[in-house]
A = this chain, B = another copy of it.
Amino acid sequence: MVTSQPRSAAAREAILAAAAIEFDEHGYAGTSIASIAARAGTVKGHVQYHFRTKSTIATELIQASFAQGAFLAPGPEIVPRGIAAILANTRGVAQQFQSDVRARATVRLLAEKSRIDGDLPTPYVGWMGNVEVMLEEAKQDGDVRADIDSRECAWLMVAAFFGALSVSQTLGTLDRFPHRVERLVRMLLASMAKPDNLS
């Protein structure tokens, strides 16, 4: 079989696009090579010619998302620092999840990480590290208290972000997700900015 490289790349791309929709809707365990083929308007053998297994497809989608800097969302403009960076980051990633099926598929696949046979990045921790750096900048800027535990607060902010995403998906209210997650992040930042009278 003779396959020109450009044509082969386009075929792989079409399969990845179909797979992202399937993974986003049904998760890893709920998707099959057959359902990906059906979504791509082709047959199982065609998919298997380009990707040996379902794990190979999932791994390629996830690695591409991380390579493209998804979940870092620096944006085209110059990235601000501290609290402004956290808010810009939140907005950028929220909009990405709303509009980009591959970003949503990646998050869902990473929750099923243990089932996928491939070399996958650990989710959340890279983003938590970035938020930790921004919180340290916010300390220097006097926007959050000097005594907050940046690492722990970054963990909580990222977890809250993904909770809002997951609940929005389950309840079918993804349209309100960017608004809600920004509010959540602002509430958490507000609690770090002032003396805590609850503990």
Contacts and interface: CB of A to CB of B under 8 A. Distances in A.
Interface of A: 26-27, 29-30, 83, 110-113, 115, 122-125, 152, 155-156, 158-168, 170-171, 180, 183-184, 186-194, 196-199
Contacts of A166: 111, 159, 162-163, 166
Contact of A187 (B83, B122, B156, B167): B156
A171 B123 CA distance: 8
Contacts of A193: 197-198
Determine chain A's interface SS by DSSP, over half rule: helix
Contact of A191 (B26, B168, B191): B191
Given A194-B190, A196-B186, A124 B170 contact: yes
Contact of A115 (B26, B155, B194): B26
Contacts of A159: 160, 163-164, 166-168, 180, 184
A186 B199 contact: yes
Contacts of A160: 156, 159-160, 163-164, 184
A193 B195 CA distance: 11
15 contacts: A27-B29, A27-B112, A152-B183, A155-B180, A156-B184, A156-B187, A159-B163, A159-B166, A159-B180, A159-B184, A160-B160, A184-B188, A189-B198, A190-B194, A190-B197
B186 A198 contact: yes
The 9 closest A-B pairs by CB, nearest first: A163-B163, A29-B29, A29-B30, A187-B191, A160-B160, A190-B191, A159-B167, A191-B191, A159-B163
A165 B111 CA distance: 12
A183 B156 CA distance: 8
A159 B173 CA distance: 12
B198 A190 contact: yes
A111 B170 contact: yes
